[in-house]
Amino acid sequence: MDPLSDVLSLLKPRSFSSGGVDHGGDWAVEFGAHEGIKFQAVISGACWLAVDGVPEPILMSAGDCFLLPRGRPFRLASDLALTPVDAYALLQVPLNGAIRTINGGGSCFAVGGHFGFAGRHAEILLGMLPPVVHLQKESDKAAMRWSAERLMLELREPQPGGFLIAQQLAYMMLVQALRLHLGEGAQGGVGWLFALADKQMSAAIHAMHDEPARHWKIQDLAERAAMSRSTFALKFKRAVGASPMDYLTRWRMMVAADKLTNSGDSISMLAAALGYESESAFSTAFKRVMGCSPRHYGRGPASAS
């Protein structure tokens, strides 16, 4: 897999919901803080989006899509001067798998979803993203259109297996939005996600993800990136925010944490599979990165001491 797919595969969505709302007339809806990622695609009409902590509101037009990866409260409205209604009070019952019509509909129709993630990996991805990701370029809209329209159809015309299809469509929209953000709007950021937009840095990250157990040296990775050792080490640190060896160690520990939670592999097996010559060396690295020993990982917050 590629590095973005690698990280997304570790997130293990634990909950998912999707739905659509067709608003009419004057309206304003307020949503509280949330965990995970919320996203919406505007199918028709327009509305304003205001996210806590983001200075300027965003006008969402037909075809636009937004992601909210930081869990901040937000408002959607035809006019932000209106007093908002609490979203859950307005909808009264969970929206999941349904399309709701408010005030007769007709002014703004949007579909979206919400992914909650299990485990402790979510901040690795979500912490790299801004409070709101807004996709509005025509090429971005074209890339999202089929998935958004198909999700709308699944919600409007429920069929057997519809929940799973809607879930996969929503996940595809999420990955596509992250890919578009990476390609179009990630320039200048610091972190592994932004580094993937650089072909040389991406080549080195790919190599580490493909062979995490290999005894990588800076020179080996520099050759993968077609750079000198010193130039590569400096550029990697600037782009990723960590040295190549620190990044490699963190990736190994993320893989180990996933295995500890979702497989029966022993600690000694994991140590060997990730390139450590002893269980002790592996356990020391794991505790330094994850905050607790491998034997205590996954037993709850109290175990992290």
Q: What is the tally of structural domains in the chain?
A: 2
Residues 163 and 214 in one domain: no
Q: Where does the pLDDT of residue 305 fall: very low under 50, low under 70, confident under 90, or very high at 90 and above? A: very low
- What pLDDT does residue 198 have? 87
Which residues, including other chains, have CB under 8 Å from residue 266's CB and lie 6 or more apart? none
| CA angle at 58 for the pair 53 and 64, rounded to the nearest 5° | 125
Give the Cβ contact number of residue 298 at 10 Å: 14
- What pLDDT does residue 91 have? 63
Tens digits of residue pLDDT in 80-99: 999 999 987 776 544 555 78
State yes or no: pLDDT of 172 exceeds 70: yes
Identify which of 228, 178, 182 has the alpha carbon closest to the alpha carbon of residue 202: 182
- What pLDDT does residue 141 have? 86
Residues 211 and 64 in one domain: no
Identify which of 38, 17, 150 has the alpha carbon closest to the alpha carbon of residue 96: 17
Tens digits of residue pLDDT in 23-48: 999 999 999 998 888 989 999 999 99
Tell me the average pLDDT across 60-87.
93
- What pLDDT does residue 202 have? 92
Domain that holds residue 43: 3-184
| Final residue belonging to a domain, choices 136, 156, 184 | 184
Q: Distance (Å, rounded) from C-alpha 88 to C-alpha 193?
A: 33
Tens digits of residue pLDDT in 93-140: 445 557 888 889 999 999 988 888 766 667 766 776 788 888 888 888
State yes or no: pLDDT of 22 exceeds 90: yes
| Final residue belonging to a domain, choices 163, 184, 205 | 184
- The values of phi and psi at residue 170, to 5°, are -65, -40
- What pLDDT does residue 125 have? 67
CA distances for 107 relative to 27, 65, 234, angstroms: 10, 17, 52
- What pLDDT does residue 90 have? 72
Tell me the average pLDDT across 291-295.
90
Residues 77 and 161 in one domain: yes
Q: Distance (Å, rounded) from C-alpha 207 to C-alpha 195?
A: 14
What is the pTM (predicted TM-score) of this model?
0.74
Which residues, including other chains, have CB under 8 Å from residue 260's CB and lie 6 or more apart? 267, 270, 294, 297, 298
